[in-house]
């Protein structure tokens, strides 16, 4: 029996995709998650998963952080990013950071099934109209991925709040931890990212944001 994980915070999309895939892959067991944390929980509990269908903009995912983190922790798991955008900048980033495929949400059930079948065979998959236009990521981007992969999910949450301009006491309140713990996380973040202040850390966080966000529809 095949085992797929659909990680998306839109229940109607999950249900529609689950129904479509169940008709195409038999027998099939589908697991679902709607946040980055719940996705990690399923990945930990289900070591025999065949593929992860990942929405980049789930709560907690931090755009590219979720993909980078999961790729680091589960290097053998095929990851297909399923997105409402076909922006080449986004496609290039996610493929460079370890996705095996990029599936537009506008794809038909048969197209999604064909894409997944290719990835289950060990091949990458991209829509025909863009597969020759995707650019390789730079050495700087690869270094960034390695640095970000070293951050724990909680450390990334702190980094995200730094990116939003929150003070230590505000971060402590949001995460329900002490200011001393926030400071410890920030120290660890600086060390892992090879930076010396908040401004440098925020610049790195900015590079993980997918642009142009205004063109995305989820």
Residue 57: per-residue pLDDT:
85
- Locate 154 and state its tokens: 């909680």
In DSSP terms, 207 is beta-bridged to: none
Q: Is the confidence at residue 210, as pLDDT, over 70?
A: no
Q: Regarding the domain delimited by 2-120, which CATH topology (the fold level of the hierarchy) does it fall under?
A: Rossmann fold (3.40.50)
Which segments within 73-167 are labelled E, that is strand?
Answer: 79-83, 101-104
Buried b (16+ CB within 10 A) or exposed e, 24-57: ebeeeebbbbbebebbbebbeeeeebbbbbbbbb
Q: For residue 153, give the nearest of 124, 185, 114 by alpha carbon.
A: 185
Identify the CATH number of the domain defined by range 150-207.
1.10.10.10
Band of residue 70 on the pLDDT scale cut at 50, 70, 90: very high
Do 125 and 118 contact (CB within 8 A), yes or no? yes
Domain ranges of the chain: 2-120, 150-207
| Over residues 184-188, mean pLDDT | 96
**Residue 155 neighbours by CB under 8 Å, 6+ apart:** 185, 188, 189, 192
Q: Which residue has the tokens 């998963």?
A: 49
Cα dihedral 47, 105, 123, 151 sign: negative
pLDDT band at 63 (very low <50, low <70, confident <90, very high): confident
> What's the whole-number mean pLDDT along residues 97-125?
92
Mean pLDDT across 116-143: 88
Closest CA to 101 of 117, 142, 19, 37: 117
Query: Could you check whether 2-120 and 150-207 share the same CATH topology?
Result: no
């Amino acid at each position: 029996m095949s085992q797929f994980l659909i990680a998306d915070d839109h229940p109607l999309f999950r249900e529609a995709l689950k129904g479509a895939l169940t008709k195409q892959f038999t027998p099939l067991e589908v697991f679902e998650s709607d946040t980055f944390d719940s996705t990690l929980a399923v990945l930990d509990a289900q070591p025999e998963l065949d593929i992860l269908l990942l929405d980049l903009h789930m709560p907690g995912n931090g755009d590219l952080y979720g993909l980078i983190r999961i790729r680091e922790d589960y290097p053998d798991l095929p990851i297909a990013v399923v997105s409402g955008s076909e922006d080449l900048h986004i496609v290039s980033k996610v493929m460079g950071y370890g996705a095996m495929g990029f599936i537009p949400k506008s794809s038909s059930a048969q197209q999604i099934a064909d894409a997944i079948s290719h990835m289950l065979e060990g091949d990458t998959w991209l829509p025909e109209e863009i597969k020759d236009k995707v650019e390789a990521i730079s050495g700087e981007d690869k270094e960034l991925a390695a640095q970000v992969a070293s951050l724990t999910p909680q450390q990334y949450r702190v980094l995200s709040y730094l990116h939003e301009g929150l003070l230590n006491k505000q971060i402590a309140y949001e995460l329900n931890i002490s200011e001393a713990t926030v400071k410890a996380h920030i120290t660890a973040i600086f060390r892992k990212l090879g930076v010396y202040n908040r401004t440098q850390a925020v610049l790195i966080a900015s590079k993980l944001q997918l642009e142009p966000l205004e063109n995305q529809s989820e």
